[in-house]
Structure 1
Amino acid sequence: MRQGLAEPSPQSTALPVEIGFLAHHGHAPETLRQAAILARFAGISADEFLLKHNLVGEDDFYRALAAELRLPFLSAPPLSQAALYPDSILAGIAPLAGLQAGFVTAPRGAALARLLGTRLRSRTLAITSPSRLREAVFRRQGPWIADRAASDLARWAPELATDLGYGQITVLFVVLTVTAFGIGHAPGPTLAIIGAALGPLFLGMIVLRLAASVLKNSLEPNDEAPRTEDAALPVYTIIAALYREKRVAATLIQALSRLDYPAAKLDIKLVLESDDRETLDALRAVDLPGNMEIVVAPKGEPRTKPRALNVALPLARGRFTVIYDAEDVPDPGQLRLAVARFARLPPQVACLQARLTIDNTDDSWLTRLFTIEYAALFDVFNPGLAEIGSPIPLGGTSNHFRTSVLKAVHGWDAWNVTEDADLGLRLARLGYEVRDLPSSTLEEAPVTLGSWMRQRTRWMKGFVQTATTHSRRPWVLLRQLGVWRCYGALVLTWGIVLSALFYPLFSVLFLAEWFSGTTRLYASRWDTVAWFYSLTLFLSGTAAIMIPALVALHSRRLWRLWPWLPLLPFYYGLVSIAAWRGLWELATATFRWNKTSHGHARTSRAGLVLRSTRREWSARDH
């Protein structure tokens, strides 16, 4: 025994070395022993179990470690420029500033046991906590971290990154101007040309939606595997980007705490912007579980959700990573189901998309229609696309990834305001697949038309960014995806954009001609062909809107929403307005992120789910 170190008490001799020293510093040996037993059942180190279950505070733990080793504890370690991101954080050690300053360490697990085993005492070594080490690295390397989060994809694969120059925007608007001029001065020929040119995309969208409707996609897993023992489960990373979300911050914490997954194997990162003091204060007012950490993204551009996610991704420790939004309430068993699905799927399946469903359905006519739209999209259309092997534009949340693949493709495009759709297509181009995960996540829909329009304008602007990015080199896209999947990718990008822009116009003109009685069905052979072509598009397009919605509402047992189905064409008329607004915003504010405010829901389709915390924060606001 080294001179000056206390002899271990008999009660602590049976404790793992990584926590046994705490018995010398005021912590009850029996509590430590119980934690050690539970840690073995969970398949993790005892120190991780203690810290993630908040049985010992992080600062208390590492101050006790410093005292045990007779090393200094640094609350704000001054790091050298040689400190690396994310390496220093993941390794738990970084160089201090100064030629002979040494290193600061925040050891975990095996590294902690080795340090205690060697009882190293050196003037060149200091102790800090993992959170303080991470904050120190961010202080030292903030500008470089911000640059990496914004530009890593563009440096690695510029052909896959968003790069909308003024030239491309100019060409787009010239085409639209010529089209508008043609419609104004020669509407018949112009619309005929547009219809003929866009017909393959429209028909492709119609065929995909109808085909998806006939495929059976249960809301519950049909092949549920036996429950996996906690010790066999991998570490799972959860990343949630929050910005001005004080109203739902406590709700998110409660929702994540309900997950049926060992708390010590959850690596939860809440990413905030540096100027978002209100959300930071809201989180600090809550007793955060030990498996959650607040990551403050360094200042930088663009101010988008994907940039914030890119800041946290290199720090992910889990084998799998899932993205949640601030207002999400995922099904408690979702992570276990994802682990079981990944275990049975081939390695090229990089992502599982869970089902998103609206919770505040009864707030307004808009939330009812939003519920129908989401049900058709996530319960029918996307699962159908996965079944036939099509590329899938991901939803913005509840995407479960193999972390190694997500890091290998350099995360999200920080400059794309629908980073989810872009990532889904990029994964397909790089040879990966996306599959469906039959597990629901409750979401809050915008209640007011203004909030809905701002959100949808951003989505449509992002789809134009995505469509332009992935069709810059169509021959490369064709080589990577093959003929039919390439066609599907075009349908799911340009098809969505152009149908939103023009399909309502064609529908109105068709109905006007029909009810005016001016149609001359047999005026000429070409008139007859054009008439039946228009009729086919109109009727099949209407069916492609209604049938997936009917199937989805039946699956969700939301039959009470059937009376709202006739309003769907008018709802998609609003989508068309948002698409035109998105084009304008593309030219005037290309990378602006229209923030959607949450925490305003008045109803809950799932019952009183986590509503008490929302009421509490609403009361604080007043």
Structure 2
Amino acid sequence: MRQGLAEQTRQSTALPVEIGFLARYGLPPAALRDAVMVADLTGVTADEALLKHGLVEEPVFYRALAAELRLPFLAAPRLSPGAPFPESILAGLAPLARGGGFVAAPQGEKLVRLLKDLRPPRALAITTPSSLRRSVLQAQGRLIAHRAALDLPHGAPGLSIYGGASVPQMATGFLFALIASFGIVVSPSKAVALFASLASPLFLCIVVLRLAASLLRNPLHPPLSPERADDASLPVYTVIVALYREKRVASRLVAALDRLDYPAAKLDIKLVLEADDRETMAALAGIRLPGNIEIIIAPPGHPRTKPRALNVALPLARGRFTVVYDAEDVPDREQLRMAVSAFARMPADVACLQARLTIDNTDDSWLTRLFTIEYAALFDVLNPGLAEIGSPIPLGGTSNHFRTTVLRSLCGWDAWNVTEDADLGIRLARFGYRVADLPSSTLEEAPSTTRAWLRQRTRWMKGFLQTGISHSRNLRSGLSQFGFWRFYAGMSLTAGGVLSALVYPFCTGLFVVLWLSDGPRSQLEEIWYAGSLTLFLAGLASIFIPACVALHRRGLWRLLPWVALLPLYYGLVSLAAWRGLWELGIAPFRWNKTSHGLARTSRSGAFRNTKPVRPRPYR
């Protein structure tokens, strides 16, 4: 008996102080030695290595800590209403509700200092980081919901769609609609000619940007870096995933995050769920989650949007960099390492890296084939080209890697904008920051039915309109911050893109009718017709050329016959644009949820619901 106690004491003194005490509470010495080895290799404290690698469960660790310090352990602490957010969670210390005192969930250096203190404060209790986080979120739920929804509208009212269109914008829109309807009744041909003349600068900008981006060389796979960075030099990286009714893909998401080639102890992964999403909670409860994954329950609030959920998690981000993924994403294993390397090479004004999204369930339907071509053109050709040109970039909804400090300085995402990604990309450009291309792929699942596709695209079109309204509300301010050319490009890529989709079928039909008809024309009419035909043909070229370039880069030449259907596909985009315009009037903040986990095919084989295999922790 005495020999056993002596052996445990000898082991505990040979281990770092932050985990050495665990040897006296029956934890396997092998697990503790593994934690020390991992800590040495990754440059973290041994307790972080032990917990984030799942070698011991949180309750076991912190109950043993409480016993070692002879302090009470609270499984569900009741906190004071004044517990500050996010400071209490980040510091691991919060005031208790009754009787005074504090509850702590110490980690790293704070844990070391507490264990070295021979007489820890008596008015202190111990809990787990997860329990402390849940308690703070519960105690400050109303404040957190308010800040997640309104930090941007209150901090920078001119940059959020929360207030809707300004009076001058509404008056201009009403006057334009009145003149257009009157002109169409009185003289349709002249009205169309006037509209085309006024809108052609926006359309021309879109065409020029698309064609120019197609001429730039942006390979799918970059040159390999000369050497792999050692784990100890890598910074902490935050990963945020907003989930809602995603039980079908929960296990695949956890497996995809678990396979990332990045030190587990330096991954700060946050899954954000809505309070009423019991199905996803149940699905995650059935999975053995890695120790570096936190589940955050967003307090109930309005609006019920993805950006509001992201704003709940952002104040808790511990990483130097933050990436946003979607529930169905399967990113390249080395994407985070590539992002760290790219940020290190680039100047400080590069605040975001946009990885390349690619559709994996290509063969599900004709719609997913066309969606694959569209995404390949957008993320493998257009966005990399726009980044090289220096144009603002409406970000994709996932695989955006940010400098965390910059993201916080911009108040995160606009909770009221249903394409928060596009808005944030334009807002970054407005404040002088740049978005760069990250040539690393993230697999995505495309909706395979027309109904699901139309709901998703309607939200996108509505969000592009919201973004255009937000950033053109104050023209003087917008022009001074963007500069003329960047403002012109930003408006063309957002509101201009929706406008071109709205008129696409009408312009196409009109041009066909006009150019098939014969009759005398004046010299001015001939010039107008020639200019219109040139713009129309250039527009078609801007559809086909990026698509073909993208198929070449992706090696997807088998989809080439489907490129011929893109003009019909953009007819569906036009329908979505009209629906988006209607929704902007009747339900501006409605979030049309896209369901995932329905894919029937997978080009890569990655779209399978597999559970991560991890060593069982000490319980």
Q: Is the 8 A contact 1:86 1:314 kept in 2?
A: yes
The alignment status of 1:611 with 2:608, answered yes or no, reads yes
The alignment status of 1:299 with 2:300, answered yes or no, reads yes
How far, CA to CA, are the matches of 1:564 and 1:175 in structure 2?
38
SS of residue matched to 1:350:
strand
How far the C-alpha of 1:474 sits from its partner, in A, is: 1.4
* Residues 584-599 of structure 1 aligned to structure 2 (within 5 Å): 584-599=582-597
Further displaced range: 411-420 or 166-175: 166-175
How far the C-alpha of 1:203 sits from its partner, in A, is: 0.5
How far the C-alpha of 1:173 sits from its partner, in A, is: 5.6
Residue 55 of structure 1: aligned partner:
55
How far, CA to CA, are the matches of 2:41 and 2:151 in structure 1?
40
The alignment status of 1:135 with 2:142, answered yes or no, reads no
How far, CA to CA, are the matches of 1:34 and 1:423 in structure 2?
42
SS of residue matched to 2:610:
helix
* Residues 393-404 of structure 1 aligned to structure 2 (within 5 Å): 393-404=394-405
Q: Is the 8 A contact 1:327 1:444 kept in 2?
A: yes
How far, CA to CA, are the matches of 1:402 and 1:432 in structure 2?
11
The alignment status of 1:406 with 2:404, answered yes or no, reads no
How far, CA to CA, are the matches of 2:472 and 2:486 in structure 1?
13
Q: What code does the residue aligned with 1:300 have?
A: G
Q: 1:50 to 1:284 in 2, by over 3 A?
A: same
SS of residue matched to 2:284:
helix
Residue 145 of structure 2: aligned partner:
146
How far the C-alpha of 1:172 sits from its partner, in A, is: 3.5
How far the C-alpha of 1:513 sits from its partner, in A, is: 2.4
How far the C-alpha of 1:165 sits from its partner, in A, is: 5.0
How far, CA to CA, are the matches of 2:36 and 2:351 in structure 1?
35
How far the C-alpha of 1:184 sits from its partner, in A, is: 4.2
* Residues 193-272 of structure 1 aligned to structure 2 (within 5 Å): 193-222=194-223, 224-272=225-273
Residue 615 of structure 2: aligned partner:
none
Deviations for 1:384-436, whole angstroms, at most 9, x for unmatched residues? 00001111110000000011111111100000000000000111111111000
Q: What code does the residue aligned with 2:545 have?
A: I
Q: Is the 8 A contact 2:251 2:609 kept in 1?
A: no
How far the C-alpha of 1:177 sits from its partner, in A, is: 5.5
SS of residue matched to 1:613:
coil
Deviations for 1:283-303, whole angstroms, at most 9, x for unmatched residues? 110100000011000000000
How far the C-alpha of 1:461 sits from its partner, in A, is: 0.4
Residue 81 of structure 2: aligned partner:
81
Residue 105 of structure 1: aligned partner:
104
Q: 1:170 to 1:241 in 2, by over 3 A?
A: farther
Q: Is the 8 A contact 2:165 2:470 kept in 1?
A: no
Q: What code does the residue aligned with 2:414 have?
A: D
Q: What code does the residue aligned with 1:429 have?
A: R
The alignment status of 1:38 with 2:38, answered yes or no, reads yes
Q: 1:598 to 1:178 in 2, by over 3 A?
A: farther
How far, CA to CA, are the matches of 2:566 and 2:115 in structure 1?
66
Could you list the runs of 4 or more consecutive aligned residues of structure 1 that deviate by over 6 angstroms after TM superposition? 5-8
Q: Is the 8 A contact 1:12 1:29 kept in 2?
A: no
Residue 290 of structure 1: aligned partner:
291
Q: What code does the residue aligned with 2:425 have?
A: G
Q: Is the 8 A contact 1:169 1:587 kept in 2?
A: no
How far the C-alpha of 1:174 sits from its partner, in A, is: 5.9
How far, CA to CA, are the matches of 1:203 and 1:77 in structure 2?
61
How far the C-alpha of 1:34 sits from its partner, in A, is: 2.6
How far the C-alpha of 1:123 sits from its partner, in A, is: 3.0
Q: Is the 8 A contact 2:165 2:473 kept in 1?
A: no
Q: 1:496 to 1:609 in 2, by over 3 A?
A: same
The alignment status of 1:317 with 2:314, answered yes or no, reads no
Deviations for 1:554-578, whole angstroms, at most 9, x for unmatched residues? 1001001110111101111111110
Q: Is the 8 A contact 1:225 1:340 kept in 2?
A: no
SS of residue matched to 1:445:
coil
Q: 1:149 to 1:612 in 2, by over 3 A?
A: closer
Question: What residue ranges of structure 2 are gaps of 5+ in the alignment?
Answer: 612-619
TM-score, normalization: structure 2?
0.95
Q: What code does the residue aligned with 2:561 have?
A: P
Q: What code does the residue aligned with 1:39 have?
A: A
Q: Is the 8 A contact 1:236 1:266 kept in 2?
A: yes
How far the C-alpha of 1:221 sits from its partner, in A, is: 1.3
Question: Over aligned residues, Cα RMSD in angstroms?
Answer: 1.6
How far the C-alpha of 1:512 sits from its partner, in A, is: 2.2
Residue 476 of structure 1: aligned partner:
477
Identity of aligned residues (%): 64
Residue 600 of structure 1: aligned partner:
598
How far the C-alpha of 1:490 sits from its partner, in A, is: 1.8
How far, CA to CA, are the matches of 1:39 and 1:180 in structure 2?
70
Residue 157 of structure 1: aligned partner:
156
The alignment status of 1:24 with 2:24, answered yes or no, reads yes
Q: What code does the residue aligned with 1:358 have?
A: I
Q: Is the 8 A contact 1:255 1:610 kept in 2?
A: no
TM-score, normalization: structure 1?
0.95
Residue 617 of structure 1: aligned partner:
none
How far the C-alpha of 1:524 sits from its partner, in A, is: 0.9
How far the C-alpha of 1:508 sits from its partner, in A, is: 1.3
Equivalenced residue count is: 605
The alignment status of 1:330 with 2:331, answered yes or no, reads yes
Further displaced range: 219-228 or 296-305: 219-228
Q: What code does the residue aligned with 1:446 have?
A: P
